Amino acid sequence: MPAYRAPRGTRDLLPAETPAWTRLERLGADLASRYGYRRIETPLFEQSEVFERGIGAVTDVVEKELFRIAPRTDEAESWALRPEPTAGIVRAYVQHGMQTWPQPVKLSQLGPMFRYDPPQAGRYRQFWQFDVEAIGDPGPAVDAEIIELGTRYYRDAGLEGVEVLLNSIGDPTCRPAYVAELTAYFDAHREALPELERTRLERNPLRLLDSKDPAMAALNAMAPRITDRLCEPCAEHFAAVRAHLQALAIPYRLEPGLVRGLDYYTRTAFEFYVAGREGQQQALGGGGRYDGLVELLGGRPTPAIGFGIGLDRLVLALAETGVTEPAESAPIAVVVGADPDATSHRLRIATDLRAAGLGARAELGRRKLGKQLEAAARDGAHFAVIVGDELADGDVGLRDLPAGTQKVIPIADLAREVGRAHAAHRHGPPGGGAGSA
């Protein structure tokens, strides 16, 4: 039993697992760039008030899940690790005067977030999100663009059957009256409410609608729907979002109980699920419009929308659906040799191959040549560069490992020959014979 382990609710991504993550990270960066979203990086921790004001002081995220940092000095600020990216990005938008830039400002981020959650399958205390935000556009076309971007990300990642759940939660004009009506409805059924939902009724009644407690299913099915009570501007916006999604041939399902868990959302709200797998821990990602957040964090009133996609759950979903992830990248060439003391020669040759843009590994131990060649084959290398007596004449042996063929070439031509043969998927020269090591 090891003395030290990764903290509870976290895990190490080992080399065999990281190719899947690298692929998804590159896919996210490529899509964001193609759609005009520029990269931003914000600190892993912020002033606690950024989250308390932005997300909402009575949300589970702030009340139960913030990783708060205790300063070691007399600094007056209190800090917390970021539980989600939007509040920090909006803080940066305000702080750096991005409101003076051409609008909308389209930003993207991919990195770790932190929540003090009870660990569950696909739910970690440190987790990764791919995030996009469009700040300064009132929509509704940008709402559809962002939802389409999310569906394309899943499709390009190889995950089929992802469904968009869609709702509108109104705005400060129409939502207060709806919340009052919803509160009265649930208050009339108070005795039937589970204890947690009674607490939510007092503090955040909308959260009852997305309760995953089975005892709430019948009550929520009969609850008043906000989409029947939207003010005219919100209703027009929601209709236009749906029209744009239809124009893009993006299927969606209306879900009146979808309210999202953060206070900053207004109007459009959406989540991504694998069809037939809706549930508390099954959402792959989601987002919505947050037209009041910029003002809440000190800026001018500014419309905005974004989403966050969890990479942890996406990797899990891909594995469960049988999507084969790429293997670890293998070196194109491994430089080997019979002389255990000739490591400087092997290292120099490998360094020259790397400088030419080729993946290369040098055998720097004292294993016998046969063992070195076996290791190169296990690595999946295409070539073994064999440093032997020919080195005195400026030559090395080049063995095509899959084909079992070998020839002698000048060191000066090595990088060009390796690159050309590998690009052409050659397995030894035509008519060439296998050489001896």
Tokens of 260: 């999202």
Task: Give the global pTM.
Answer: 0.86
User: What pLDDT is attached to residue 432?
Assistant: 37
CB 428 within 8 A of CB 405: yes
User: What pLDDT is attached to residue 76?
Assistant: 72
437 pLDDT more than 70: no
CB 25 within 8 A of CB 17: no
Q: What does CATH list as the number for 18-174+230-320?
A: 3.30.930.10
Tokens of 96: 């750096």
Residue span(s) of the chain under CATH 3.40.50.800 come to: 333-423
Question: In the structure, what pLDDT confidence band is assigned to residue 216 with cuts at 50, 70 and 90?
Answer: confident
Residue 78 CB partners (closer than 8 Å, separation 6+):
47, 48, 49, 68, 69, 71
Residue span(s) of the chain under CATH 3.30.930.10 come to: 18-174+230-320
Task: Give the architecture-level CATH label for domain 333-423.
Answer: 3-Layer(aba) Sandwich (3.40)
Pairwise CA distance, residues 405 & 247, whole Å: 57
Q: How many CA atoms lie within 13 A of 315 on its CB side?
A: 22
Residue 303 CB partners (closer than 8 Å, separation 6+):
135, 136, 137, 138, 139, 289, 291
Looking only at the bridges linking them, the beta strands covering 38-39 and 105-114 are parallel
394 pLDDT more than 60: yes
Average pLDDT (387-409) is 92
Average pLDDT (27-39) is 96
User: What pLDDT is attached to residue 35?
Assistant: 97
User: What pLDDT is attached to residue 300?
Assistant: 94
Q: Which residue has the tokens 């020839």?
A: 407
Looking only at the bridges linking them, the beta strands covering 266-274 and 252-254 are unpaired
Which residue, 339, 333, 340, 341, is CA-closest to 411? 333
Percent of the chain with pLDDT over 70: 91
Pairwise CA distance, residues 305 & 109, whole Å: 14
User: What pLDDT is attached to residue 428?
Assistant: 40
Pairwise CA distance, residues 58 & 200, whole Å: 9
Question: In the structure, what pLDDT confidence band is assigned to residue 208 with cuts at 50, 70 and 90?
Answer: confident
- 208-240 burial string, b = 16+ CB within 10 Å, else e? bbbbeeeebeebbeebeebbebbbeebbebbee
The 10 Å Cβ neighbour count of residue 280 is 11
pLDDT one-digit tens code per residue, 228-279: 899 999 999 999 999 999 999 999 999 888 876 566 688 999 999 987 665 5
Per the DSSP assignment, residues forming a β-bridge with 178 are: none
333 pLDDT more than 80: yes
CB 136 within 8 A of CB 105: yes
User: What pLDDT is attached to residue 281?
Assistant: 57
Pairwise CA distance, residues 61 & 186, whole Å: 23
Question: In the structure, what pLDDT confidence band is assigned to residue 93 with cuts at 50, 70 and 90?
Answer: very high
Average pLDDT (96-100) is 96
- Identify the three-state secondary structure at position 132: strand
Pairwise CA distance, residues 285 & 307, whole Å: 7
User: What pLDDT is attached to residue 431?
Assistant: 36
The 10 Å Cβ neighbour count of residue 379 is 14
Residue 9 burial by Cβ neighbours in a 10 Å radius (0-12, 13-18, 19+): middle
Catalogue the E-assigned strands of 15-161.
Answer: 38-39, 45-47, 68-69, 79-81, 105-114, 126-135
Q: Which residue has the tokens 């800090």?
A: 79
pLDDT one-digit tens code per residue, 343-389: 999 999 999 999 999 999 999 988 899 999 999 999 899 999 999 99
Q: Residue type at 396?
A: V
User: What pLDDT is attached to residue 338?
Assistant: 87
Average pLDDT (285-299) is 92
The 10 Å Cβ neighbour count of residue 378 is 9
Q: Check residues 283 and 335 and name the one with the higher pLDDT.
A: 335
Average pLDDT (118-141) is 89
The mean pLDDT value of the chain amounts to: 87
Q: Report CA 417 to chain centroid distance, whole Å.
A: 39
Catalogue the E-assigned strands of 294-370.
Answer: 304-310, 333-337, 360-362
Question: In the structure, what pLDDT confidence band is assigned to residue 68 with cuts at 50, 70 and 90?
Answer: confident
Pairwise CA distance, residues 130 & 306, whole Å: 11
Peptide bond into 104 cis (omega under 30): yes
User: What pLDDT is attached to residue 426?
Assistant: 46
What letter would DSSP give residue 392?
G
Q: Residue type at 259?
A: V
